[in-house]
Structures are given as C-alpha cells and as structure tokens.
Structure 1
Amino acid sequence: MRKGSKTNSARALRRRMTDAERRIWYFLRGRQLADFKFRRQHPIGPYVVDFVCLAHKLVIELDGSQHADAANDRRRDAFLQREGYRVLRFWNNEALSHTAAVCESILRTALAPPSPRRVRGQAEGC
C-alpha cells in the first residue's frame, strides 16, 4: 500500500459519514464527552477506524449489517488489541435509536482502566 493512501481513504470517509457516525460524532467532537479528544476516520496501521481516543487507546466502531460475524472485523480487532487499543463496537441502529446509552457506554469504557479485549457495546434498555 502506498504511503498516504490510508490518509486519503480516511479523508474520503470523513466526507461520506453514515447517519449513525454523524450522530455519534456530534457528541464526541470538540471534547464534549468528559473532555476526551476523539478523532474520526483515523488511520491506525493498515486500517481506518471510525473513532479513536488516542490518549486512552479506545477505538469506537459503528457497524451495519455487513459486519454481522465478519472475519475481517475479528482480524482488525485482533490487530488493534495487539497495538494496545480497546475496541468498542455498536450497531448503527443502536447508535441512532439509543444514542444516550451508547454515549454512556463509551464514557464508562473510556473512564475504566484499560484491559484490552473486544467488546460489543451494550446500550441499556435495548
């Protein structure tokens, strides 16, 4: 892969955010969530993650139906975990329907001491 191609891909993805990504970004941007700085569509190694808080090594991924039991996601999560990141995943419909619960789950995970593992986000009341 050419140098800079992931950066170019990330830029393109920022311009084409899904509705779920837009909704969650509204609450993560500008240090609105407990002063945590998140980046969107950020390259990490060979991947571009939806959101990341670099200081707390926390990756947030929003998944559509194409991600149901995807082997690529497992490889991606394993790579990110080897790099020391915690990966928190939510379904797009969960991010749209239960935004406050998703943000609360993100906040709880960001505040918790790091223990690298793959986590499927659980919004209470779903």
Structure 2
Amino acid sequence: MRRVILFLLLAGFLAAPAWAGQCNIPAGGQCSLVMDPAPAPVEVVNLGQDKEASVLGWWLYSVQGEPRRVATVLKPGEAVIFSPPKSKDGQGDSFAARTLVIFNLGTTELSARTVK
C-alpha cells in the first residue's frame, strides 16, 4: 500500500500540473494546463536564444471526445497560441477541451500560459 501511495505521489509530481495557468517546461519535459470552469487559449513561447524547439501536445476533453493533437516547431523567441477545439456530444451540445498536455521535444526551455 505504501508503494502504491508513493507511486501516485511521484506520478502526480512528474506530471507537472500548472498552477495559476502557467508553467515552464524544461527540455524533454512536459506540463498539463487544466482550465476550469472555462477553457482558454494557451500561448507557448520558446525561451531559448539559439535553438529551435519542437512542441507536441494534446487537447483533452473532460467528458467524451477524441484527444486533438497539436504540434509545431518554434524558432528562438517565437510564440504560438493553441486554441481549445470544440466538439459536440450525442445530443448536439457543444463543448470545448479543458486540458492541454504539452511535451517539449526540443533542447531548450519553453514557457506556457493561458491567455485570458
């Protein structure tokens, strides 16, 4: 039981949830931005001075729906904004993705924050 609890705590720590809608993502790291109650666009910035950064992410829905993939390559100092995609449920009601999981596949640091 202790191992299970320790594993869950470690997994939660490694998932690097973003507090206050922002996070720095080291090279090879990842971050998840959870937006509740309202989803918002996310700005990702390459903080490196001389290296490109590869960004891979998935928008996740809180109910049903397939995750939506986003990806880009950022030049030094460049930024991109990912807007939450919308989907419809079986009754035709529209809803937006509320979580963006971002993976930094590059060798430079990234910054991510929600844009209000």
Fold shared by both chains (TM-score > 0.5)? no
TM-score, normalised to structure 2's length? 0.32
Higher relative helix content: 1
TM-score, normalised to structure 1's length? 0.30
Structure ID, larger Rg: 2
Higher relative strand content: 2
